Amino acid sequence: MQFVSVEQLALFIGRCFIAAEVPEDDAKIVAELMSEADVNGSDGHGVFRLPQYIERIKNKGINLQPNINIAEDKGAMAVVDGDNALGHLVMHYATELAINRASEHGISWVGVRHSNHAGPAALYAKMPLKKDMIGIYVAVGSANHLPPWGGTEMLLSTNPIAVAIPAQEESPIVLDMATTVAAYGKVKTAMQRGESIPEGWMIDKLGNPLTDPSKANEGFLLPIGGPKGYGLALVFGLLAGTLNGAAFGKNVIDFNADSKSFTNTGQFIVALSIECFGDVSLFKKNVDEVIRSMRASSKLPGFDEIRVPGERSLNTRRQREQSGIPIPDALCENLNRLSISLNTEPLRLLE
Amino acid sequence: MQFVSVEQLALFIGRCFIAAEVPEDDAKIVAELMSEADVNGSDGHGVFRLPQYIERIKNKGINLQPNINIAEDKGAMAVVDGDNALGHLVMHYATELAINRASEHGISWVGVRHSNHAGPAALYAKMPLKKDMIGIYVAVGSANHLPPWGGTEMLLSTNPIAVAIPAQEESPIVLDMATTVAAYGKVKTAMQRGESIPEGWMIDKLGNPLTDPSKANEGFLLPIGGPKGYGLALVFGLLAGTLNGAAFGKNVIDFNADSKSFTNTGQFIVALSIECFGDVSLFKKNVDEVIRSMRASSKLPGFDEIRVPGERSLNTRRQREQSGIPIPDALCENLNRLSISLNTEPLRLLE
């Protein structure tokens, strides 16, 4: 295991994108969001994805000179056309738009079409927090790993949701979850680390547990709560994909297997301006109280603490800001190969 | 088991409310929504709740002359103050408002405070369908049956979500789910029927499975996907309750145990006008295609069909419209006692 600082990681990602002919300002935005993912502990959605993004750029699967624009507009709602840009750029644009619109209308809902994989859901849900807004983000996942309940055809993705809610003295609540028991990124991380995965994450085509992540292609993920998780993945896909004129279901391109085809990824972001609902500081104090009451609950045998969503990620962030972001050896080798192929300076690791 | 027609059930519910001094127009609205719940198969949320509602009215726990009004308003979003009216009246008002606002702004988000238990979530999510809109409804449940993940204090409710999405030739997709493995209403129904409940629905305070619904008070519901379902229940509660200035967490009144105290129930409804996102008929055709592709998936051993959310409820509705709504004997006796106490005509059962 090697370690890297957030700053050096962002610089490395930026260098690679610039070497792959991404415009400098765009490279900077994506590099900051990707290293933000890593420092927050979203190991399956940060620099881990860089070789894949670069591969897609080389295969002309990404538009490096996009015209990201507003295709539909009613003020409080809009649909952004990402023009096949890097997903982080599209969602960065859409989220800023949602924040602006919510300050005028109290709420805004911005859907996105012609986007791409944009990293962890929490990145975008958290952006409205800076304006005392609540953020809600939903995405169509970039590969189908989930069949309908009772089926074996992978017609659905893990379609995640993230919700970020500010507090006063406590840290914000940040829920970021796949509608499957485990996100596929976690399976990929386990595979890369040579670890097995717990029973309950995946089953094979006969319905038997699958615990060897290197056989992930022979099975599929399980939804949370059985038919309920399937239902959530389905409606999230219709709202983030179909409603925006983006891909969902059979039309989803597996971006792990295909680095060329236009993915037409769909996402949406909702921003809610708290001051339009009532007093902001009263709301935040009430959130503090809710958080503290959860934490103070008596505990089940075997549990020594109760957390609220976002707490583990924040602890990871604090630790990584101090000691650096861990980079497993296999990933380190991949990133070295990448910098050689791009003829750019390698990742500067911590001593 | 006895059976009743939808029409007679609505008439009976209306008679009881009028006898309990609910104004006639209001009684009619609530009776139609409650019998709608029963015909759709929401057995824990229809006439089953009538004795409890009447008890609350008698105890002055409901305001029968409410001034339901818009407390906060930014056009696309609003907060409705239900003035402690019957929850169905508040949500009926709020949903009509949301539909009107969405036709102007493309989207609307209407939160509700000072409301009450309003029956099954799907009732309100489905209302925008008539205007080619998508509906999303979330409520703070009316009693806490869920601890935070790892805890034993029941600080959360089953906080349900419903999402309704129209199709062209197919029936709409209607997801209506608690964030717990089972809704508490299902536990109550099993208790009334003298049936046991499956392992995985509830645990006791030591973490052991609880399968006897008559001991439900000694344990608590389990969230879907463990910490994920807890996270959903938490953020849904903050959005439907705290954000609207309504009760959530420790402040929730258990309306099963307390028929007097002002509940300050919170809910919200979102309406999305499909035409503002793109062509309505293209969208609906795409939903048809998604539904058909799910159904056509090859199946896991042990499954003979694949359903989409809303299908089972629709099948139940068709059957009940033909053969009547089943009323278990115990419920029948309760309803007879109720009509005697209200000095009104009893439920007219099918021969």
Tokens of B308: 């989409």
Residue B142 lies in a domain: yes
Please report the pLDDT score of residue A88 as a whole number. Answer: 98
Dist CA A231 CA A148 (whole Å): 8
Please report the pLDDT score of residue B239 as a whole number. Answer: 98
Please report the pLDDT score of residue A129 as a whole number. Answer: 98
CA of residue B234 relative to chain centroid, distance: 18
B155-195 tens-digit pLDDT: 999 999 999 999 999 999 999 999 999 888 788 889 878 89
Element (H, E) at B111: strand B107-115
B16: pLDDT confidence band, cut at 50, 70 and 90?
Answer: very high
Tell me, yes or no, if the pTM score tops 0.95: yes
Closest to A297 (Cβ–Cβ): which among B152, B163, B301?
A: B152
Q: Which residues of B touch A72 (CB under 8 A)?
A: 106, 276-278
Q: Give the residue numbers spanning the domain of A128.
A: 63-278+312-323
- Inter-chain touch A107–B76, beta carbons under 8 Å: yes
Q: Which residues of A touch B303 (CB under 8 A)?
A: 150-151
Dist CA A270 CA B267 (whole Å): 18
Q: Which residues of A touch B307 (CB under 8 A)?
A: 149-150, 227
- Are B211 and B182 a contacting pair, CB within 8 Å? no
Q: What type of residue sits at position B329?
A: D
DSSP for B294-314 reads HHTS-B-TT------TTHHHH
Q: Is B226 helix (H, G, I), strand (E, B) or coil?
A: coil
Dist CA B32 CA B11 (whole Å): 9
For residue B113, list its beta bridge partners: B81
Tell me what percent of the residues of chain B surpass a pLDDT of 70: 100
- Inter-chain touch B149–A306, beta carbons under 8 Å: yes
Q: Is B326 helix (H, G, I), strand (E, B) or coil?
A: strand
Q: Which residues of B touch A273 (CB under 8 A)?
A: 74
A249-304 tens-digit pLDDT: 999 999 989 999 999 999 999 999 999 999 999 999 999 999 999 999 999 999 99
Dist CA A309 CA A122 (whole Å): 11
pLDDT surpassing 90 at residue B244 = yes
Please tell me which residue of chain A has the smallest CA distance to B219: A300
Q: Which residues of A touch B237 (CB under 8 A)?
A: 290
B283-333 tens-digit pLDDT: 999 999 999 999 999 999 999 999 999 999 999 999 999 999 999 998 999
Residues in chain A: 351
B40-85 tens-digit pLDDT: 999 889 999 999 999 999 999 999 999 999 999 999 999 999 999 9
How far apart are the CA of A166 and the nearest CA of chain B, in angstroms? Answer: 11
Residues in chain B: 351
Count the domains in chain A.
Answer: 2
Same domain (yes/no): A36, A102 = no
- Inter-chain touch B306–A150, beta carbons under 8 Å: yes
Same domain (yes/no): B144, B165 = yes
Closest CA to B134 of B111, B112, B108: B108
Same domain (yes/no): B137, B206 = yes
Please report the pLDDT score of residue A133 as a whole number. Answer: 98
How far apart are the CA of A3 and the nearest CA of chain B, in angstroms? Answer: 30
- Are B4 and B342 a contacting pair, CB within 8 Å? no
Same domain (yes/no): A79, A30 = no
- Inter-chain touch B290–A248, beta carbons under 8 Å: yes
pLDDT surpassing 90 at residue B258 = yes
Closest to A297 (Cβ–Cβ): which among B75, B148, B307?
A: B148
Dist CA B306 CA A210 (whole Å): 22
CATH number at residue A334: 1.10.1530.10
Count how many Cα atoms sit within 13 Å of the Cα of residue A262 in the half-sphere of its side chain. 11
Same domain (yes/no): B106, B26 = no
A189: pLDDT confidence band, cut at 50, 70 and 90?
Answer: confident
Closest CA to B127 of B100, B101, B96, B104: B96
Same domain (yes/no): A180, A161 = yes
How far apart are the CA of A327 and the nearest CA of chain B, in angstroms? Answer: 27
Residue A307 lies in a domain: no
Please report the pLDDT score of residue B147 as a whole number. Answer: 96
- Inter-chain touch A75–B298, beta carbons under 8 Å: no
Residue A165 lies in a domain: yes
Please report the pLDDT score of residue B290 as a whole number. Answer: 98
CATH number at residue B83: 3.30.1370.60
Please report the pLDDT score of residue A276 as a whole number. Answer: 98
Lowest average pLDDT, out of A94-98, A114-118, A164-168, B257-261, goes to B257-261
Residue B289 lies in a domain: no
Closest CA to A27 of A88, A83, A82: A88
Interface confidence, given as ipTM, is 0.96
Q: Which residues of B touch A301 (CB under 8 A)?
A: 206-207
- The H helix count followed by the E strand count for chain B is 10, 12
Same domain (yes/no): B229, B97 = yes
Residue B295 lies in a domain: no
A96-146 tens-digit pLDDT: 999 999 999 999 999 999 999 999 999 999 999 999 999 999 999 999 999
Please report the pLDDT score of residue A304 as a whole number. Answer: 93
Please report the pLDDT score of residue A235 as a whole number. Answer: 98
